[in-house]
Chains A and B, each alone.
Chain A
Amino acid sequence: GDSVTQMEGPVTLSEEAFLTINCTYTATGYPSLFWYVQYPGEGLQLLLKATKADDKGSNKGFEATYRKETTSFHLEKGSVQVSDSAVYFCALSDNNAGNMLTFGGGTRLMVKP
């Protein structure tokens, strides 16, 4: 079955540091890939997505590139802010009934001033 693996947290960085959160996946076919973010006490929000190989998703300074050859979709940001502190989820959607998402375990990011 489909699965998503992402690095365990927490990831603790100082403000303006470079961020990488690794994500790899296993899926049949050609899934779409996503990063969702969950701020404290809130539901998940879509951060960015990529629907085919070599696509780059970007939003709010975050980027991730769909790498079919390495089955990866790593999240990066050049300069994090305290307000980026949240839990980040990598996810995939296969061409299945119901459009269900398979999530990774989440990575907590803590950014210190």
Chain B
Amino acid sequence: DTAVSQTPKYLVTQMGNDKSIKCEQNLGHDTMYWYKQDSKKFLKIMFSYNNKELIINETVPNRFSPKSPDKAHLNLHINSLELGDSAVYFCASSPHSGRSGEQYFGPGTRLTVT
């Protein structure tokens, strides 16, 4: 069984559209994350969601909004898509909110904005 899954795997859309990426984990973890990986493979945290507490990275535009219907899901909604949003987005989860740092990543969603 896939531990952390994301849908869709590929997403091609036009500027100005609104889109969502879904993430589900079946590991029973309390904490989930969204990362953005640019074309140079640089990986940057966007959000961390621990149970009902959302920790927002201040560098993320407010066009990006995570939504967590329950502990196993953390979806990413993006409004008014821009060319610069093109990237691979990774969802991850971890069993602790402390210092363990070990995270389990999904396979990624490649978003292309045209």
Chain B residues lying within 8 Å of A106, measured Cβ to Cβ, are 41-43
Residue B45 is within 8 A (CB to CB) of chain A in the complex: yes
Q: Given the complex of chains A and B, what is the CA–CA distance between A49 and B100 in angstroms? A: 9
Residue A73 is within 8 A (CB to CB) of chain B in the complex: no
| Contact with B4, one of A31, A34, A43, A105 (Cβ below 8 angstroms) | A43
Known A-B contacts A42-B107, A93-B99; A100 and B45 likewise in contact (beta carbons under 8 Å): yes
Chain A residues lying within 8 Å of B108, measured Cβ to Cβ, are 42-43
The contact size tier of chain B is 20 to 34
Binds A, one of B14-22, B69-77, B79-87, B90-98: B90-98
Known A-B contacts A43-B4, A43-B105, A97-B55; A32 and B43 likewise in contact (beta carbons under 8 Å): no
A34-B97 in contact (CB<8A): no
Q: Given the complex of chains A and B, what is the CA–CA distance between A32 and B94 in angstroms? A: 14
